[in-house]
A = this chain, B = another copy of it.
Amino acid sequence: MKLGFIGTGAMGLPMLRNLLAKGFAVTAYDANPAALDVAVAAGAKRAASCADVARASEGIVTILPSASNVQAAYLGPSGILEAAAKGTLCIDMSTIDPGTARQVAARLAERGVRYIDAPVSGGVAGATAGSLTIMIGGVASDVEAARPALVAMGANLVHVGAVGAGSVAKLCNNLIAGVAFVAVSEAFRIGEAWGVDPKILTDVISTSSGATWAMQKNHPVPGIDPKAAASRDYAPGFTTDLMGKDLGLAVNAAREGRVAASVAAAAQQVYRMASAHGFGRKDCASVYQFLKPGSKDSPV
C-alpha cells in the first residue's frame, strides 16, 4: 500500500521512521517546513499539501495536535477530501473528540473515502520503540486493511468499536488517569499537612480501595518511587498540557453525550490552572507540585 503521512512532529516522526523501516513507501507533509525536511531526510517523499499527499497515496496516516488541525487537513482548502480517490483508507491517529472523528468520517464517506480513528498511548518513547497501544474505531474491514501499517507503529492493537470508539476509549482512560493524579496529589498533600509519612501512606493505600495506577506506577510525590517522574523533577512522561487537553476533550464528549462529568471537569480546570502557572510541559504528576499548601498564617 502506498502510504501518505501528515504530521511529522514529535510523535509523528518516529512513527514515520518505523513505517519506512518496515519497507513502506511514504509521501509526507507537515505544515511546518522544518518538520517536513526532517521527514524527507529520513526517507519520505515530499508533498506540497494534504491534497498532494492524498493524490499519491492509497492509505493516509494523520497525527495532528488538535481537532481543528484534523478538520483542516481533511476538509479544508487543499485538504485530503479534495483529492483522495474513492476507496482511500484514512487512519487518523490524533487524539481528538469522537464528535469530530465522526463528522470527518461522514464527510469522507460521502465521497467513498474510508476513515478509522486510531489514537495511541505510549508517548514519544512508545512511538520510537514501535510499542504504542493503538485504540481503534472503524469498520472491521477497514481496520484489517490498516493493520499492516498499524503493526509497524504499535505493539498492542485494540479494535474498540465503530468510528469514534478509539477516541472514546482513549479519552475515557485518560479521564480516569487524569482525575486520579489530582486525587492522589490531594490525598498526599493532606497527609503532608497532618504530618503523615508518605511512604506509610503509600503502603496503606496500595493494598486498599484507593489503589490506582497513578499512585503505583507514577507516584506524584518526589522520592517515593525512583522511577517515577516526580523523582526526576517531573520530566515527562505525559505532560500537564496534554492531560489537560485530553480531559477537556473528555468533558466535551460528555457534554455532547448529555452526561455529567463533575470530577473530570474539576480535574480539567486544575490542569488548566497548573499549565497557566508554569507546569504545562512537566509531567502531569507535577499537579502535586502545583497543589502546594497555603501559608501557615492564612486563616482557616
- The interface of chain A, by Cβ under 8 A from chain B, is 65-66, 68, 77, 98-99, 110, 121, 133, 135, 158, 160-162, 164-165, 168-169, 171-177, 179-180, 182-184, 186-197, 200-201, 203-205, 208-215, 217-218, 238, 241-242, 244-245, 248, 250-270, 272-273, 275-277, 280, 290-296, 298-300
Is A187 touching B175 in the complex (CB atoms < 8 A)? yes
Query: A254, B173: Cβ atoms under 8 Å?
Result: no
- Copies of chain A in the complex: 4
Q: Which residues of B contact A275 (CB under 8 A)?
A: 258, 294-295, 298
Q: Are A214 and B209 touching (Cβ within 8 A)?
A: yes
**Residue pair B186, A260 in contact (C-beta under 8 Å):** yes
Q: Is the interface of A mostly helix, strand, loop or mixed?
A: helix
A299→B77 CA distance, assembly (Å): 22
**Bound Cα distance A186, B109 (Å):** 31
Do A186 and B300 touch across chains, with their CB atoms under 8 A apart?
no
Question: A158 touches which one: B169, B204, B218, B252 (CB < 8 A)?
Answer: B204
Q: How far is the CA of A189 from the CA of B300 in the complex (A)?
A: 23
Asked whether, in the complex, the Cβ of A183 is within 8 Å of the Cβ of B175, the reply is yes
Q: Which of B158, B280, B290 contacts A294 (CB 8 A)?
A: B280
Chain B residues whose C-beta falls within 8 Å of the C-beta of A292 in the assembled complex? 276-277
Give which listed residue, B161, B193, B252, contacts A195 with CB less than 8 A.
B161
Complex A-B, nearest 9 residue pairs according to Cβ-Cβ distance, in ascending order: A193-B257, A176-B210, A258-B294, A266-B266, A265-B265, A172-B187, A177-B209, A173-B210, A179-B183
Q: Closest CB of chain B to A103's CB: distance in Å?
A: 8
Q: Give Cα A217–Cα B275 distance, bound, in whole angstroms.
A: 31
Q: How far is the CA of A124 from the CA of B191 in the complex (A)?
A: 27
- Of B175, B195, B217, which contacts A190 at CB under 8 A? B175
Q: Is the CB of B197 within 8 A of A161?
A: yes
Q: How far is the CA of A117 from the CA of B11 in the complex (A)?
A: 38
A158-B203, A190-B261, A266-B266 given. 12 additional CB < 8 A pairs?
A161-B195, A168-B191, A169-B196, A173-B205, A176-B183, A179-B263, A209-B214, A255-B268, A259-B293, A265-B266, A273-B273, A277-B277
By the criterion CB–CB under 8 Å, are B257 and A182 in contact? Answer: no
Structural contact, B195 and A171, CB atoms closer than 8 A: no
Chain B residue nearest in CB terms to A184: B176
Q: Across the interface, do A176 and B258 meet the contact criterion of CB distance under 8 Å?
A: no
List 16 A–B pairs whose Cβ atoms lie within 8 Å, in order of A's numbering: A65-B299, A158-B200, A168-B194, A169-B200, A172-B188, A172-B201, A179-B183, A180-B180, A245-B300, A258-B276, A258-B295, A262-B266, A263-B267, A265-B265, A265-B268, A276-B295
Chain B residue nearest to A247 (CB atoms) is: B255
